Structure 1
Amino acid sequence: MNFTSLRIITADIQPLIRFYEKVTGSKAIQYTEDFAEFKTALATLAIGSTKTLALFGGDTIARPASNQSVILEFRVDDVDKIYEAQAEFFNACMVQMPTTMPWGNRSLLVRDPDGNLVNLFNPVTGEAKTRLGQ
């Protein structure tokens, strides 16, 4: 089994698309007005409007903007460079400034327009680099 994708269900798809285009530096592939994807080498981030819930059995199976337990994580080359280049953008949604975590990753934690936590990180210690195959 391979982890393939994570999907965010939202009531307002366009702000999330713009946010993740800015964060990832890539353009969303928007298949319909209610569904878009960001493809990476390892997995896909999908964004679907609440209208797509009908295809899964009804609009009560997921609630947009209610995540309280999941952090979406993106490994980047240099958190500090990304923050410096886009400080104004990140300051508007900041949870935690770039910080070195006890497990050896440098981390920038923000919230997307729906309130989901998003962590941009890069390994900085030898142990973290080894653990993450760098």
Structure 2
Amino acid sequence: MKPISKIQAVVECKCPRCRKGQIFSGKLYAFKGQTTNEYCPVCNLRFEREPGFFYVAMFISYAMNVAEMITIAVATYILGLELTYENLWIFVAIIMVGVFLFAPLNYRYSRVFLLHWLTPGLGYVPGVETAKVN
């Protein structure tokens, strides 16, 4: 079986080492349902590489959040809402709704980006699922 690409592994939130195991359990928009697995169910990789590892994901999430807010504001302006003092609270409300809707995606993909692209020494190892390496 041909392994999936790195981009597909990121989109599907798969383990960076075996690209088969799920990083998260639970649904994306479930109430208290999205949790990060401690270990990969296939290759037994510990996702939290060291204590406090996922604190870095907050910075990634912040950058994603700023980009989303700018995009929502520009899209709102392009779609016809004039940027005047009277419309300021409408802009703020639209941006806050967008932030609220994108929050679960930011949580999930900030951790996935951290594991796949910003963790040195963690990469794809073909055949590791049979070895059960820690």
Q: TM-score, normalised by structure 1?
A: 0.25
**RCO (CA 8 Å, sep 6+): is it higher in 1 or 2?**
2
**Which structure would you say has the larger Rg?**
2
TM-score, normalising length from structure 2?
0.25
More strand per residue: 1
